[in-house]
Every structure is written in C-alpha cells, then in structure tokens.
C-alpha cells in the first residue's frame, strides 16, 4: 500500500510539470501586461524598463520559467505584485477558511443527498421517487449565486438570524460562531452538491439492487434493511466515493461565486482579486494550488477504493 501511494505520487510529477508550463505560459499569453498594473497608466518608458528589470520580466522566457519553477519547488511562488507579500503566505492564510467551508458543504450535501438517493432507489418510479428526483434536479439547477442571495435576504436581512456577511471563524476556537458564519454558504454549496450526490447514488444503488448477490441475500431471509445496509450500500459506494472526492477537491480548491456572494475570505476570492489587478504571481500560485489539491484528492480517492473494495490490490 505504501509503495502504491509512493508510486502514485511519483506519477504526479510529470502531470504537475506539464501543468506548471501551462499555468505559467497562460498568464503571458493573455493580453495586457502586469507592468501596467504595477507602474500605473501614466508611467514613463524608464519607469516601465526599471520595473521590468526589477521583476526580471526582460529575461528570456525559458529563464523566467526556470526561476519560477525552481522557486515553486521550494515553496517560493514569488511576491504578490499588489501587496508585496509572498504568494505562499497569502494562499496559506486562506487555506483554513476554504477547507472549513469545503468540508461543511460536502457534509451538508451528504446529509441532504444520501437519504434522498436511498429513498428514491428503494421505491423507483413511484410518486415519492418523482418528487425527490424533481427536488434533486432543482437543487442542481438553481444557480448558487441566486440561492446564496436568497438565503442572505431571508436569514440575514429579514429574520436577522445569521450574519449576512460571512467571516472566517476557526471551528475549533469558537464552534458556535463558526457555525453561524458558515451555515449559509455551506447550505448554498451543499444544496447544489446534494443534487449531484442524490442522482449519482440513486443510479448506483439501482444498478446494484439488480445484482445477483442481492437476490442471494434476500433468499437467505435477511431483512431488507440488512440487504440494503450491508450488501448493497457498500457496493454502491464505490463509484460514489469518486464523485464525493472530486466535489470536495473542487470546493477546497475555492468556490469563486459563493465566496464572492458571501464575501467569504477563501481561495476563490483571493483568485478573483488577483485576476482583477493582474497580480500574475498570485494567479499562478492560486491555480497551481487548486491543481495540486485536485490530483492529491484523486490519489486519496483511489486509496479509499482499496479500503472499501477487497478485490483491489495495490502492489
């Protein structure tokens, strides 16, 4: 198992290398230069040349890339052009907030989605299945910014139960305060993923319920809750783990729209701000961070697979 994880991590090196070229080059491929943002619109040629010199932007491209890459390897993504702070610091400061929001959103999604999927799959094509399927479609289809604004209006502005602007409160320092601040954005994202989870798990459960081993389990006279709980669920979870892992990666990587609606201090907002001022080192750092989260989450999902499915042997 350790060998397998190690091998998977080594396999990530070429992936990340190729991606790093893409991320680095992308910034230079789009029109508009960071220089304008740094020196201001009315700068003279000398001021521009001076800034280019200082930031190393006049060196050959491969040299620029090389120094960026070697820096990135030791955690040095350069300085933010805007705030002059190290990019890594800026990202790391936002990670706990994003992580907390991501995990809570997935939790809400599972709590809302899994029961819906199970009830739908156990009574397929009945009125309750149709109602629940319609609900999942709705949850999936409603734009998150609109749902977020609606929740703010209702709970934040009308009822004044919860803050309309969510700040980051660490859960382990102040659980109640953290919940008050995270509930609305987590509900917004959670509702959205619950639709995905419910549809995915329902299909997976329906497929498994047709399997021969289910008939065997029933022929033993097992009660239906054991047939579903012990036999079907574990098999149905296999493909489901993938989708949960991917959604978690997406949320931890930053949820741009929701963070913007709730003015929540996560990675997503950091990225948006960086793009607004063409803070190239920060953009590159944020995207690379999101990418690393994604690929690591994929490895984690594969490892989880082996834990659930004894047929998978990692050598």
Partner 1 sequence: MTSAPGAPPVLSVRNLSVTFTGSGRDVPAVRDISFDVHAGEVLGIVGESGSGKSVTSLAITGLLPPTARVSGSIRVGKVEVTTADAETLRHMRGREVGMIFQDPTTTLNPVLPIGRQVIEGQVSHGFVAASEAPARAAALLREVDIPDPDARIGQYPHQFSGGMRQRAVIAMAMAGQKRLIIADEPTTALDVTVQAQVLAVLAKRQAETGAAVILITHDLGVVAETADRVAVMYGGRIVETGTVREIFAAPRHPYTVGLLQSLPRLDVVADRLVPIPGQPPTPARLPPGCAFRPRCPIGRDRPLCAAEDPALHAEAGRATACHFPDEIPTLLGAPLPPRAAATPKPAAATLPAPLLEVEKLQVHFPIRTGLLRRQTGTVRAVDGVSLSVRPGETLGLVGESGCGKTTTGRAIMGLIRATGGSIRFGGDEVTTMDPAALRRTRRNMQYIFQDPYASLNPIKTVGDIVAEPLRIHGLFEDAGGMKRVAELFELVGLSRTMLGRYPAEFSGGQKQRIGIARALALAPKLLILDEPVAALDVSIQAQVVNLLQDLQKELGLAYLFIAHDLSVVRHICNRVAVMYLGRIVEQADRDTLYEQPAHPYTQSLLSAVPVPDPARRGHTGRIVLQGDIPSPAKPPSGCPFHPRCFRAEARCSTEIPAFRDLATQPTRAACHFAAPRLPEQAA
What residue ranges bind partner 1 (CB under 8 A)? 3, 6-7, 10, 211-213, 215-223, 226, 230-231, 234-235, 308-311, 315
Please report how close the Cβ of residue 221 comes to partner 1 at its closest, in angstroms: 3
Q: Would you tell me how many other CB atoms lie within 10 Å of the CB of residue 98?
A: 27
CB of 4 to partner 1, least distance (A): 9
Nearer to partner 1, 155 or 314 (CB): 314
6 or 69: whose CB is closer to partner 1?
Answer: 6
Instruction: Report in angstroms how near the CB of residue 29 gets to partner 1 at its nearest.
Output: 37
Q: How far is the CB of 128 from partner 1 (least distance, A)?
A: 15
**Smallest distance from the beta carbon of 117 to partner 1, in angstroms?**
19
Q: Tell me the closest approach of the beta carbon of residue 302 to partner 1, in angstroms.
A: 16
What is the Cα–Cα distance from 106 to 113, expressed in whole angstroms?
A: 10
Nearer to partner 1 by Cβ, of 6 and 92: the residue is 6
Which of 2, 45 has the CB closer to partner 1? Answer: 2
Burial class (CB in 10 A: 0-12, 13-18, 19+), 32: exposed
Nearer to partner 1, 158 or 219 (CB): 219
Which one, 164 or 211, has the nearer CB to partner 1? 211
CB-wise, 14 or 223, nearer to partner 1?
A: 223
Find the shortest distance in angstroms from Cβ 214 to partner 1.
Answer: 8
Residue located via tokens 């003015």? 263
* CB-nearer residue toward partner 1: 7 or 89: 7
105, two tokens: 């959103």
| Least distance from partner 1 to the Cβ atom of residue 35, Å | 46
């Amino acid at each position: 198992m350790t060998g397998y994880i190690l091998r998977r991590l080594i396999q990530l090196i070429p992936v990340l290398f190729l991606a790093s070229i893409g991320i680095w080059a992308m910034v230079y491929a789009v029109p508009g230069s960071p220089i304008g943002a740094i020196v201001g619109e009315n700068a003279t040629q000398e001021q521009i040349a001076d800034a280019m010199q200082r930031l190393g932007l006049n060196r050959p491209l491969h040299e620029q890339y090389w120094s960026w890459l070697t820096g990135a390897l030791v955690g040095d993504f350069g300085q933010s052009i805007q705030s002059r702070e190290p990019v890594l610091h800026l990202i790391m400061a936002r990670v706990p907030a994003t992580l907390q929001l991501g995990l809570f959103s997935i939790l809400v999604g599972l709590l809302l989605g899994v029961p819906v999927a199970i009830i739908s799959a156990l009574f397929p094509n009945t009125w309750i299945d149709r109602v629940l399927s319609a609900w999942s479609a709705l949850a999936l289809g409603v734009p998150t910014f609109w749902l977020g604004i609606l929740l703010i209006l209702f709970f934040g502005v009308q009822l004044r139960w919860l803050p309309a602007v969510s700040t980051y409160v660490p859960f382990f320092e102040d659980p109640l305060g953290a919940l008050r601040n995270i509930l609305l954005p987590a509900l917004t994202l959670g509702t959205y993923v619950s639709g995905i989870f419910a549809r995915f798990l329902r299909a997976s459960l329906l497929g498994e319920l047709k399997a021969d081993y289910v008939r065997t389990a029933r022929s033993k006279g097992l009660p239906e809750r054991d047939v579903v709980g012990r036999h079907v669920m574990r098999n149905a979870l296999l493909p489901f783990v993938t989708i949960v892992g991917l959604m978690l990666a997406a949320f931890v990587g930053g949820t741009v729209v929701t963070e913007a609606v709730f003015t929540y201090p996560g990675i997503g907002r950091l990225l948006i701000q960086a793009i607004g001022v063409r803070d190239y080192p920060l953009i590159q750092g944020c995207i690379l961070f999101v990418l690393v989260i994604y690929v690591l989450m994929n490895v984690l999902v594969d490892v989880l697979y082996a834990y659930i499915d004894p047929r998978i042997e990692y050598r």
